[in-house]
């Protein structure tokens, strides 16, 4: 007797039943996230905007220039004057709204004594716009005492990036006493409680706490400091941003150095620059915002559309992670499946920085995938370690450090970033 073939209905029923039987090989792997919709990407030419802004930088009249030159020569002690004349010239210069015309170039004077004096005058002026040339001086100054005066002037003008330099100066015998004296005044102005005779270690701890607040908020801690006038601030930042069209590395590096240490001040112009049609401008803005970190959080909405930009999407991912923009998490999870290697690697790191514990299974799957490229697996290990102690991720990360089979500077940067993440949790 021949066996009859099962009916199509029976086969279909059996197929449905088999599909419904749960797998017995362990936890169900996480489903691949769907790609969420992004806000529209709207780019426009922006270099002409920056150049037009730069051209609006206020300049003193010829008569004012002559007056400022005379006052500056006396106040900077480049010419001899009796005490009364010197005092009057100094006061007049510090009250002049265009004092930067003579103080800014004096910060680059060949004589060390003049640079020290110029930095001190900048701090006494109360003109917070001078923090920008002071930041550039901080990059190049080699004289230890002049560094102290530059750092002190910065904090007086509302920029706490110089506090780390005062902190470091207390480790050197030649500068410890002066840096300690400055640190005591800084703490007292901010009502920071100190022992009657504080040690250098106690002063350094106080400065580090103030520095941590600066990095998080981008706002200086000295009370009563007025923000720079917009009519001078925007043109100065525009000049720096416009240099990125050049192939000369030093002006670009100078621009990045100044803007990344200016706290929240450049955020409005950087946010507008994100939508520049020129890729190098978008890239520069994203890199600067990533370095600014948490204080760049208000720009997150403007960064998000750039995830759709193939030229800068990986930079945008890093910026969203460093800024702490948690609304980006669904978009970043979806990009773990991107064919773009740089985008996958950046997304693994950003999800860790955003403390997205729900992505842990996805990150572990990537870490364990021997066919995945090393960039992405290292990023997955970093992401898992951002979430907390993880022996498997630590073993993998440490193996790269020991074997030397991955870019050592990148590993060092990621390791330092992990230390910062751990410190922030304490």
pLDDT at 18 over 60: no
- Domain residue limits at 94: 61-217
SS3 assignment, position 253: helix
pLDDT tens per residue, range 298-319? 999 999 999 999 999 999 999 9
pLDDT tier at 3, thresholds 50, 70, 90: very low
Mean pLDDT of 218-223: 97
Q: Kindly state whether residue 45 falls inside one of the protein's structural domains.
A: no
Domain boundary (184, 217, 250) is at 217
Mean pLDDT of 348-362: 97
pLDDT computed for residue 424 by the predictor: 86
What's the CATH code of the domain at 78?
1.25.10
Distance, in Å, from the CA atom of 346 to the CA atom of 203, rounded to the nearest integer, reads 38
pLDDT tier at 49, thresholds 50, 70, 90: very high
Give 342-402 as a DSSP string: HHHHHHHHHHHHTT-GGGHHHHHHHHH-TTS-HHHHHHHHHHHHHHS--HHHHHHHHHHHH
Q: How many structural domains is the chain composed of?
A: 2
pLDDT tier at 22, thresholds 50, 70, 90: very low
Q: Kindly state whether residue 305 falls inside one of the protein's structural domains.
A: no
Domain boundary (185, 217, 249) is at 217
pLDDT tier at 425, thresholds 50, 70, 90: confident
Q: Kindly state whether residue 10 falls inside one of the protein's structural domains.
A: no
Domain boundary (153, 188, 217) is at 217
Average pLDDT, the chain: 92
Mean pLDDT of 4-31: 41
Mean pLDDT of 173-200: 96
pLDDT computed for residue 23 by the predictor: 41
pLDDT at 419 over 80: yes
pLDDT tens per residue, range 224-282? 999 998 899 999 999 999 998 888 899 999 999 999 999 999 999 999 999 999 999 99
Q: Kindly state whether residue 130 falls inside one of the protein's structural domains.
A: yes
pLDDT computed for residue 244 by the predictor: 87
pLDDT at 1 over 70: no
Cβ-contact 258, 136 below 8 angstroms: yes
- Residue 180's closest CA among 198, 160, 196, 155? 198
Cβ neighbours for 289, distance < 8 A, ≥ 6 positions apart: 270, 296, 299, 303, 319, 322, 323
Lowest-pLDDT choice from 234-248, 288-302, 368-382: 234-248
pLDDT at 332 over 80: yes
pLDDT at 426 over 90: no
Q: What angle do CA 7, 13, 14 make, to 5 degrees?
A: 90
Q: Kindly state whether residue 211 falls inside one of the protein's structural domains.
A: yes
pLDDT computed for residue 410 by the predictor: 97
pLDDT at 14 over 60: no
pLDDT at 7 over 60: no
Mean pLDDT of 147-174: 98
pLDDT tens per residue, range 164-185? 999 999 999 999 999 999 999 9
pLDDT computed for residue 8 by the predictor: 35
pLDDT computed for residue 247 by the predictor: 81
Distance, in Å, from the CA atom of 303 to the CA atom of 309, rounded to the nearest integer, reads 11
C-alpha distances in Å from residue 313, one per residue of 207, 326, 342, 344, 352: 36, 17, 9, 10, 18
Lowest-pLDDT choice from 14-28, 124-138, 386-400: 14-28
What's the CATH code of the domain at 366?
1.25.10.10
pLDDT computed for residue 27 by the predictor: 54
pLDDT computed for residue 30 by the predictor: 55
Q: Kindly state whether residue 270 falls inside one of the protein's structural domains.
A: no
For tokens 């955020």, what's the residue?
267
Q: Kindly state whether residue 414 falls inside one of the protein's structural domains.
A: yes
Distance, in Å, from the CA atom of 152 to the CA atom of 122, rounded to the nearest integer, reads 10
pLDDT tier at 19, thresholds 50, 70, 90: very low
Q: Kindly state whether residue 233 falls inside one of the protein's structural domains.
A: no
């Amino acid at each position: 007797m021949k066996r009859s073939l099962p009916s199509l209905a029976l086969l279909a029923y059996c197929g449905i039943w088999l599909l419904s039987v749960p797998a017995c090989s362990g936890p169900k792997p996480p489903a691949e996230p769907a790609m969420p919709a992004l806000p529209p990407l709207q780019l426009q030419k922006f270099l002409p905007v920056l150049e037009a802004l730069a051209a609006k930088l206020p300049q003193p009249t010829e008569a004012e220039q002559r007056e400022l030159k005379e006052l500056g020569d006396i106040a900077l002690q480049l010419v001899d004057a009796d005490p009364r004349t010197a005092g009057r010239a100094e006061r007049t210069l510090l009250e002049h709204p265009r004092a930067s015309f003579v103080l800014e170039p004096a910060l680059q004077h060949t004589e060390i004594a003049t640079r020290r004096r110029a930095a001190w005058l900048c701090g006494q002026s109360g003109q917070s716009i001078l923090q920008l040339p002071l930041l550039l001086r901080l990059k190049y100054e080699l004289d230890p005492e002049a560094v102290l005066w530059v750092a002190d002037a910065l904090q007086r003008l509302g920029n706490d990036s110089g506090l780390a330099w005062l902190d470091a100066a207390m480790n050197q015998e030649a500068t410890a006493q002066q840096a300690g004296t400055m640190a005591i005044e800084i703490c007292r102005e901010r009502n920071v409680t100190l022992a009657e005779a504080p040690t250098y270690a106690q002063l350094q701890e106080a400065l580090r706490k103030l520095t941590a607040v600066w990095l998080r908020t981008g706002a200086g801690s000295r009370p009563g400091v007025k923000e720079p006038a917009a009519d001078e601030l925007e043109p100065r930042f525009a000049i720096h941003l416009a240099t990125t069209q050049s192939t000369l590395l030093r002006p670009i590096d100078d621009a990045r150095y100044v803007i990344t240490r200016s706290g929240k001040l450049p955020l409005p112009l950087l946010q507008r620059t994100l939508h520049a049609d020129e890729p190098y401008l978008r890239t520069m803005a994203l890199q600067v915002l990533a370095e600014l970190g948490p204080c760049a959080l208000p720009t997150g909405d403007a960064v998000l559309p750039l995830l759709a930009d193939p030229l800068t999407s990986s930079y945008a991912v890093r910026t969203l992670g460093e800024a702490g923009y948690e609304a980006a998490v669904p978009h970043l999870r979806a990009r773990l499946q991107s064919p773009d290697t740089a985008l996958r690697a950046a997304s693994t790191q950003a999800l860790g920085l955003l403390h997205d514990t729900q992505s842990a299974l996805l990150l572990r799957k990537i870490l364990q995938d021997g066919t995945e490229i090393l960039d992405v697996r290292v990023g997955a290990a970093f992401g898992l370690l951002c979430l907390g102690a993880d022996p498997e991720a630590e073993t993998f990360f440490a193996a790269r450090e020991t074997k030397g089979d991955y870019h050592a500077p990148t590993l060092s940067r990621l390791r330092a970033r992990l230390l910062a993440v751990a410190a922030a949790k304490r």
